[in-house]
Structure 1
C-alpha cells in the first residue's frame, strides 16, 4: 500500500499530524510520540506531549523533513510487509509441500495396493488360462483320436456296404425283372402267368420244358394310379443256368403282352440300380447314334469305331464322350458324398500333466463299438431271398 502526502495541503490547512509508534521521528519515546496521532487546529495543546515534541510543534516543519519521515515510515512498513509476506509464503510453501507429500504418499499407497490387486488377478487369470489350455488340449487330442476312428469307421462302413451289395447281388443272381406288364394282366397267379408267357415266347430258343420258377410277384410298393407305369415283375428260378438261358433269349427277341412291349433284365441291388440310372442320358445318346453298348453291373462298355472302351462310372463316360464330340445332357445327380473330415493339427507339444487314462477309455469304447458294428452287420445280412 502506497501512502502519498502532499505537504502543501498540510501547511495550507493549518492541521498537523503527529505520527505515533508507527513513525520513526526524532525526539519521541522509542523513536516518536508515545501518545499516538493527534490533530489540532490553531494553537497546539502541549500538555499531552513531551518537551521535545513541544519544541517540534513550535517549529514549523519543513517539506523535506516531512518527506523524509514519510519515506522512512514507508520503508519500515514495506520492510515489515516483506517480512510478513515472506513468512506467509514460506508457511504456504511448507504447507503446500506437506500436502503434496501427504497426497503423494496416499497415492503411492493406493497405487501399490492396486498393483498388488492387479498382480493377484493376473496370477489368477494365468492359472485359469493354463487350466483352460490344458482342457482345450485334452479336447483337441480327443477330437483327433475320434476323427481318426470315425475315418476308419467310414472306411469300414464303405467296405461293409460293398460287401452287403455284393451279397444282395448273389442272393438275386437267380432272379430276373420284367418291365412293362400291365397291372392286373397276371390274373390270380403270377407264377402261372409268367411260366405260360416264357414257354410261349422262348421255349423254341431255349429248349426248356421245365422252367423251375420258385416264385414270381410284383415289386413291393403300392399299386400305381391308372395310366401310370406298371410295377416291375420279379421272377426267381431254382437254377442259375435256367435264368441265364431265359434272359439271353429274351434280349434277342421282341416280346409283347397285350400289345405292350416288355423288357427283361437282371434283378440288381438298390445301390447298383442307382448307379445304373446315371447312365440313362448316355444310353439314350448312344442309341440315337446307333452305337452298341453293354452295361455290366455298374460299368459301361461302348463299342466305338476307334475301339471298345469300358467306363467305371457315368461321370467318366460322360467326360470322355464329351471330349469325343458327343453332346451329353447331365446325368441324374446322386447324393453328394460326404466331405472327408479333416483332423485337427496339434500346434504345440502335449502338456506333461494331461492324464492319458481318459483317452484310453475313449479308445476302448470306440473299439468296442467298432467290433459290435461289424458283428451286427454280419448277423443282419439277409439270406438268399427273392428280393
Structure 2
C-alpha cells in the first residue's frame, strides 16, 4: 500500500510539473496590461488594443498593423468606482511582436494614458511566479542583448 501511494505521489508530481509547463507554453504570446480604465475598450477589447498599443508605444515601431488574436479582462465582476481596474490579457499573434511590445514598454517606462499609469508585463502562470519568488531569482534581458540573473543580492551579467 505504501509503495502504491509513493508511486502515485511521484506520478502526481510529474503530472503537476507537466501541467505547469503546458500552461506556461500556452501563455507564451500573452501580455498583461494593468491600469486601463474599465470599459475603455468598448465592445471589443481586441479591436481596442490593435489601435491602443501602437498609439501608446509609438506607431513608428510597428511596420504592419498589430495582430491581436484574443483579448479579455481578468475576472467577472466589475470593480467599484474607487477600485483598481481589472487587468487585461492579450494574445499577440507573433511572438517577436510581443517581445517588441515588452521591450518598448520597459524602454519608455513609465507609460501613461490620460494621466493614468499603464503597465505591460509578460503573462506567467501563478505557480511560475511563486517558484521564482521562492528561489529569490529575478531574470530579465537588458538591452542591448545582455542577460541578467539575480540570485539574492548577487547579479550576474552575460
Q: TM-score range with shorter-chain normalisation?
A: 0.7 to 0.9
Matched, 1:251 2:98: no
Give 1:206's aligned residue.
Answer: 61
How far apart, CA to CA, are the structure 2 residues paired with 1:155 and 1:181?
Answer: 43
Give 1:239's aligned residue.
Answer: 94
Indicate how the Cα distance of structure 1 residues 221 and 154 shifts in structure 2: closer, same or farther if over 3 A, else same.
Answer: farther
Indicate how the Cα distance of structure 1 residues 163 and 147 shifts in structure 2: closer, same or farther if over 3 A, else same.
Answer: same
Query: What CA deviation, in whole Å up to 9, does each residue of 1:43-64 have, x standing for no partner?
Result: xxxxxxxxxxxxxxxxxxxxxx
Give 1:150's aligned residue.
Answer: 5
1:225 CA drift (Å): 2.1
Give 1:48's aligned residue.
Answer: none
Query: Matched residue of 1:201: which SS?
Result: helix
Q: Which runs of 5+ in 2 are unaligned?
A: 141-148
Report the structure, 1 or 2, having the larger helix content: 1
CA contact 2:50–2:65 (8 Å) conserved in 1: no
How well do the aligned residues superpose, as a CA RMSD in angstroms? 2.7
1:295 CA drift (Å): 3.8
CA contact 1:202–1:249 (8 Å) conserved in 2: yes
Query: Matched residue of 1:188: which SS?
Result: coil
Give 2:82's aligned residue.
Answer: 227
Give 2:146's aligned residue.
Answer: none
1:200 CA drift (Å): 1.0
Give 1:261's aligned residue.
Answer: 117
Indicate how the Cα distance of structure 1 residues 182 and 276 shifts in structure 2: closer, same or farther if over 3 A, else same.
Answer: farther
Report the structure, 1 or 2, having the larger strand content: 2
CA contact 1:206–1:246 (8 Å) conserved in 2: no
Q: Which runs of 5+ in 1 are unaligned?
A: 1-145, 283-292, 311-387
Give the number of the structure whose alpha-carbon radius of gyration is greater. 1
Query: What CA deviation, in whole Å up to 9, does each residue of 1:72-128 have, x standing for no partner?
Result: xxxxxxxxxxxxxxxxxxxxxxxxxxxxxxxxxxxxxxxxxxxxxxxxxxxxxxxxx
Query: What CA deviation, in whole Å up to 9, does each residue of 1:165-191 have, x standing for no partner?
Result: 111111111111111112122222212
1:302 CA drift (Å): 5.2
CA contact 2:132–2:138 (8 Å) conserved in 1: no
CA contact 1:205–1:249 (8 Å) conserved in 2: no
Indicate how the Cα distance of structure 1 residues 259 and 302 shifts in structure 2: closer, same or farther if over 3 A, else same.
Answer: farther
Most deviating of 203-212 and 237-246: 203-212
How far apart, CA to CA, are the structure 1 residues paired with 2:43 and 2:59?
Answer: 27
How far apart, CA to CA, are the structure 2 residues paired with 1:272 and 1:154?
Answer: 21
How far apart, CA to CA, are the structure 1 residues paired with 2:151 and 2:133?
Answer: 16
1:303 CA drift (Å): 8.9
Query: What CA deviation, in whole Å up to 9, does each residue of 1:190-218 have, x standing for no partner?
Result: 12221222111224563333211111110
